[in-house]
A and B are shown apart, each in its own frame.
Chain A
């Protein structure tokens, strides 16, 4: 299993480093009432500081997508840009998703991934996921079908990851979120504008609107995870190898998570 090193964030204005990431925080912090252990799904130790309660909320809906506040630093560098749709993507979301799957699955919690046939499972195993506890449903069916599949999965496994590729009706989103809350399982939604969507845009022969293929989640969510910054190192011009990367993840949401928490994740080879 890979190991991770976490450094403190470069302190942006008003944002403190995530608690518990870089050792014990010397300053006394107001305790915001951590969730009891039964109410969260465990995540990798490196990610605990990002989540209120130290894990993914059971019964909650967690979005993985672009940061809520547009971050101008992430625009495409150089000229000419490939178009506004491509400018929206945030590299690193899939790695963040794999990290989130690694924690529960390695501890024996069953996880299901629907609608994401592209997911690199070798990478998942390298990041610590237990493929024995991972169920893949590459194609959850068309309109009217995937909703029942996801609802059934929410009753069945602890963590369901959903990557909708058709527009989601608000009523479906609300229903699924309610089902997750009722069954105490976590719904992880890969929200719009991921590189997956870009790739699908090319495949579907509609390169002009690549981001459109991935649908937005119109329903309620408890947390939103985003990647603010991602960089690779190790690759030179004609030499080297992609060897390590740095991700700056941000989690914000409601209640205890209303103040965004950021953490710098270094994923070594």
Chain B
């Protein structure tokens, strides 16, 4: 069976369009390495795999953003909706790249050339609108469209912006370099063997390639020959590769739905595993109370893990639920269905030696998922260190299983209330690495935060600070002047306010004023902190805000 005629839409530099940075030199970082760079940055000599410092040395005005597939997917949803006007049978490879079978739409829209033209115009409009919504300009060209036999050739055709006639893909592919296969290790070996192009690779004997490079190499060889990436040996697939969950009451939040998807994905992977299969293509369908439905096909570069499936579900539903009002559903989601539409033999994955120690084992993941089932997805938290002055501000909590989200940290953190748009990072004069990056590098990489409390930090941070009174020797309440001095020597601590219990203050230091976000009338906070040691041997951190002292934390 010849490969399916496939049309691929490719939006170049999509992460930057979604972040509103298109047209400016920018890079996306993951683990301090550049994983994507915008065209102006590339022109300055920034390339993939560089460290942040190296990239900034190439281009000082570089804007650095963290990898955030959810943001990219959210921004891409309107574009997908625009393409869905041509055919509902869409397949998302990743945000920014989308494939659809070309045969039927081409007949309807009057030939492949005409279809390409129409898709290009439609998508260009959608990309411009998305870029405008994100606050940036659209790149030039906004999108590229190509048609060829099979998704792999079509992807390359889209990058070139050409239409490869039926049956000519093997010849057309011959001149590409082996790097386009997307397997750096294989490409490196081939290059050292003197095989530089796909044509030279395709001339090798199939059996010899399979013997030397394994199933991954065999698959690459098929692609190089212009064949379909059909699995090499698909055993009997399980009869039922659909899992479905009805939701009662309906869920209208992406995090609640992705929590449901965790169970579905586990079940799906569990059904494939006895057959030695792993999913490469996934259909995610959601249906609301009012009968609206959204279905998307997702194709992975490599077989989906359960976690990767959940990510796809979350991206898709976030884009839908939080998207433009016209396309957003009017009611909660009542049904979520995952279907595996493509599978390959599962060769397994090797865990790297270093990363496996603190990676949660299956037992931990399962157990904590059960606790989430008992208490709700937001009840199990992990902590991530962020910058901040007060003891409670230096930590932000992330629900178990969620990727640490910088916006979440900023919302949770009163000192860093997010501003609309992307301007909040620059407001602090520097861009700090993402929480996960900070924690992965063990604490010290949390950026310096002038004015934060020096260690040791208090062992107890009261979620609701306890109102207290501080009295001077004469029994009058102690305040703090505008110059940051106490109006009297703190002598006694009375708690609660008006209470009869008072403790003598035997040691104190401060007050340390913290005038935060003074430029923002809503988020501005003026506080002063005081460390006190009481005569019962306990030490506390007090904070004065709007004339009221509170016990913020205890050095227990």
Contacts and interface: CB of A to CB of B under 8 A. Distances in A.
A235 B385 CA distance: 27
B324 interface: no
A250 interface: no
Interface in A91-119: 91-95, 97-98, 108, 110, 117-119
Contacts of B394: 122
Interface stretch (B127-135, B174-182, B231-239, B452-460): B452-460
B451 to A, nearest CB: 14
Contacts of A149: 371, 374-375
Interface in A110-156: 110, 117-123, 125-126, 130-141, 145, 148-149, 152-153, 155-156
- Determine the interface band of chain A, counting residues with CB < 8 A from chain B: 35 or more
Q: Determine chain A's interface SS by DSSP, over half rule.
A: mixed
B160 interface: no
A157 interface: yes
A136 B358 contact: no
B501 A86 contact: yes
Contact of A120 (B443, B531, B553): B553
Nearest to A78: B535
Nearest to A109: B358
Given A78-B535, A156-B363, A156-B367, A235 B509 contact: yes
A137 B381 contact: yes
Contact of B400 (A121, A135, A152, A245): A135
A5 interface: no
A46 to B, nearest CB: 15
A242 B250 CA distance: 52
B508 A269 contact: no
Contacts of A125: 385, 443
A196 interface: yes
Contacts of A203: 462, 464, 466
B466 to A, nearest CB: 5
B318 to A, nearest CB: 25
A27 interface: no
Given A108-B358, A136-B383, A207-B501, A242 B395 contact: no
A145 B374 contact: yes
Contacts of A199: 460, 462, 466, 551, 554
Contact of B457 (A120, A135, A136, A194): A120
27 contacts: A78-B504, A82-B502, A94-B459, A94-B460, A123-B457, A123-B459, A126-B457, A131-B382, A137-B375, A141-B374, A141-B379, A149-B375, A152-B367, A152-B374, A153-B367, A155-B363, A156-B367, A195-B538, A196-B556, A203-B464, A235-B539, A238-B486, A240-B509, A241-B531, A244-B456, A267-B456, A269-B456
Interface of A: 2, 76-78, 80, 82-83, 86, 89, 91-95, 97-98, 108, 110, 117-123, 125-126, 130-141, 145, 148-149, 152-153, 155-157, 194-196, 199, 202-203, 207, 230-232, 235-245, 267, 269
